[in-house]
Amino acid sequence: MKKTKILFPFLFSLLLVISGCSKDDDEVVDGTDDITGGEEPEVPTPQDPEALDLSQYSSGQKVMMQTFYWDVEPRFEWWNNLSDKVEGWADAGIDRIWLPVATKGQSGGYSMGYDPSDYFDFGEYDQHGTVPTRFGTREELENLIAKSHDLGLEVIADIVLNHNSGGGLEYNPYREKDTYTLFNEENGNASGMFNRNYEHFHPNDVSQSDEGDLFFSEQDVDHDVPYVQGWLWKNENSVAKYYKNEMGFDGWRFDYVKGFGTWVIEDWMNEVGGFAVGENFDGNADVLVDWVDATGVSAFDFAAFYKMEEAFDRFDDLNYLDGNTLRKINPDKAVTFVANHDTEKDENEDNRIATENKMKAYAYILTHDGYPTIFYSDYENEAFNEEIKQLIEIHNSLAVGDVQVLHVDNDEYLMKREGNAENPGLILYISTGSTTKRRNVQTNWNNVTLLDYSGNSTYTPTSDENGMVTIEAPANGYSIYSITK
C-alpha cells in the first residue's frame, strides 16, 4: 500500500474560529470547554510533524466495491471494463467486488439481471435477442473472475431467488388463466438446466404463497417445492454449487430477501458457505437485526444509510447520526454504504444522499465499524476518487477499536476509535457549519502532536499530559485525527 501523501506548510497562520450555528457553544466535551466558548490552551506545536506510515498499520478489514450502476454503459463491454479496473481497486485496498446479476434476463442485452430467466446462461446462448448479456460473454466473465482472484479479490455474485421473468405462456390451473411460467429450451431457458413450469411458482399444491412480501406474484418462486430447492442449492449442479465450483464465485449478495423466508438463506449457506449479504431494504434497525439473527449472514445497513440521509440532507441535523442502526447493534454483520444502484436511479430525494454531502457520508462509514461498500460511480467520479482512496487507506489502517461518540449536536459530530496496543486509532470530526470549528476532546494520546490524515485541515495540535487536545474541522467538512511519529 502506498504511503499517505499529505502536505503541511512550514508555517501556520492563526485561525479565526467562530462558533457557527452550534446549539451548545458553552457545552462541555469530556469535561472540557468547547473552544468556541473559552480560550484555547497555549500548547506548543512542532513546525513539521511527521505522518505515520499507514502502510505499517492494519485494521484487519478492507472494503467492498459495488462494480455497477443502473443501466451501465457501454453494453456488452462491462466485464472487460471491470477487468481493466480491478488491479487499481486491489491496490487501493478493496478485498471484494460485488458483480451485477451475471446471467440472462428477460430484457436480453438491456437487462440488468433482476428479471432472471436462465440461471445458467452467462452469455453463451442465443435467447431474448442476444448471446452476450448486457455485461458481456461468459468467457469475458471468467477472465474477470480469474484476474480478480490473482489479485486477491473475492468475487460476489448477485443472486435473485424471489422471482423469475421471461418464460413462455402456459395454462395455469391454480390461477385458472395463462401465465408466463413455462421455462424450457424454447422458452427463456436455453441452457436446459432448471426447467420450470407453473408447479414451481405460487400458488400450487405445495404452498399458496411465500412467507415474505409478494413482489412479482405470478412468477413468485416457491422454495417449498423440493425440485426448486434441488436446482437452486441442493443438487451438485444447482445454481449455488455451479456458481461456486464452476464459475468461481466466492460469495453472495441476495436480492430482495423480504420476498422469502430466512430459512432459504440458511439452507443455501449450509450447502456452499462463503461471504453473504442480504438486501433487506428497510430503515428499521430492529428489522435488520432480526433478519441477521435468523439467517446468520450480513445485511446492508439501510438504517445507517437513512440516518446519514436524514443527518446530512433531509433534516440537516447531525444528531441523527447517533440514531439506531444495525452497525451499532451488530457491527460484524453490518455492510454499510452511501449509495447503490437502486438509490441512485431513484429521483426521490429522501432515498439518496446528495452529491455535496457524499464525502462526509463516506468519512462516516470508513471510520466507523461495519464493513464499508464503495459505489462504482462515486469511486470513478474524478471529484471524489483521490479523497475516497485516502479514506480507504485510513479505514484499512487506523479504524480500529471500540466506537465512542464524543460529542454530537445539530452541526457537529465527533467520534473516537479507541485503537489498541499496536494501533493508535483515530478521531473523526464532522461539521456542517459554515465556519471552521474547534473542540477540546479527551484522547488516549498524551503529549503527542496530532494531524488530520484526511488532509482537510492543516491544524496540528499537541495533546497535554492528560490526553486533552483541541482538534479542528473545516467548514462543512470533516477531519480525521491521529498521532504523528
Paired sense of beta strands 477-483 and 426-431, if any: antiparallel
Kindly state the cell numbers that stand for 369.
Answer: 465499524
Set of cell numbers at residue 143: 477472465
Instruction: Tell me the binding residues for Ca(2+).
Output: 162, 224, 411
Query: Which pLDDT belongs to residue 15?
Result: 34
Contact between 406 and 442 (Cβ < 8 Å)? yes
List the Cα angle 309/310/312 in 5-degree steps: 65
Task: Using alpha carbons, select from 220, 76, 111, 83 the residue that is nearest to residue 161.
Answer: 220
pLDDT of residue 484: 98
Q: Is a pLDDT exceeding 70 seen at residue 47?
A: no
Name the band, by pLDDT with cuts 50, 70 and 90, for residue 43.
Answer: low
The predicted model scores a pTM of 0.91
pLDDT band at 346; cut points 50, 70, 90:
confident
Per-domain boundaries in the chain: 28-56+403-483, 63-398
- Cell numbers that stand for 149 in this block: 482472484
Whether residue 406 is predicted with pLDDT greater than 50 in this model: the reply is yes
CATH number of this structure's domain 28-56+403-483: 2.60.40.1180
Half-sphere exposure of 95 (CA within 13 A, CB side): 12
As a dihedral over the C-alpha atoms of residue 317, residue 320, residue 322, residue 324, rounded to 10 degrees, the angle is 180
Q: How confident is the model at residue 48 (pLDDT cuts 50, 70, 90)?
A: confident
Q: What is the mean pLDDT of residues 436-445?
A: 97
Strand-pairing partners, residue 27, are none
* Spatial strand order in the sheet of 450-452: 403-408, 412-417, 426-431, 477-483, 450-452
Annotated binding site: 162, 224, 411
Give yes or no for a contact between 135 and 100, defined as CB atoms under 8 angstroms apart: yes
Which residues fall within 8 angstroms of residue 348, CB to CB, at 6 or more apart? none
- pLDDT, residue 37, reads 38
Long-range Cβ pairs for the range 228-232 (8 Å, 24+): 228/196, 228/200, 229/267, 231/193, 231/194, 232/161, 232/194, 232/268
pLDDT of residue 40: 53
Query: Above 80 in pLDDT, residue 36?
Result: no
Instruction: Catalogue the active-site residues.
Output: 255, 279
Handedness of CA 143, 144, 148, 151 (dihedral sign): positive
Q: Write the Ramachandran bin of 380: left for phi over 0, alpha for psi from -120 to 50, otherwise beta.
A: alpha
Report the C-alpha gap between 95 and 117 in whole angstroms. Answer: 30
Query: Cis peptide before 41, with omega less than 30 degrees from 0?
Result: no
Mean pLDDT of the chain: 92
What mean pLDDT comes out for the span 416-427? 98
Angle at 145 between CA 141 and CA 151, to 5 degrees: 145
Q: Could you tell me the pLDDT band of residue 32, with boundaries at 50, 70 and 90? A: very low
Rounded (to 5) percent helix, strand, coil in the chain: 30, 25, 45
The closest of 387, 392, 435, 441 to 414, measured between CA atoms, is 441
CA 274 and chain centroid, separation:
17
DSSP 326-380: HHHH-GGGEEEES--HHHHH---GGGS--GGGHHHHHHHHTTSSSEEEEEHHHHT
CATH 3.20.20.80 fits 63-398, yes or no: yes
**DSSP sequence for 306-325:** HHHHIIIIIS--GGGGGS--
Confidence grade of residue 212 (pLDDT, cut at 50, 70, 90): confident
* Exposure b/e, 120-147, CB count within 10 A at least 16 = b: bbbbbbebbebbbbbbbbbebbbebbeb
Percent of the chain's residues with pLDDT above 90: 87
Q: What are the φ and ψ backbone dihedral angles of 481, each rounded to 5 degrees?
A: -95, 145
C-alpha distance from residue 314 to each of 302, 318, 349, 354 (Å): 16, 11, 8, 10
Dist CA 163 CA 223 (whole Å): 11
- How far apart CA 113 and CA 101 sit, in angstroms, is 5
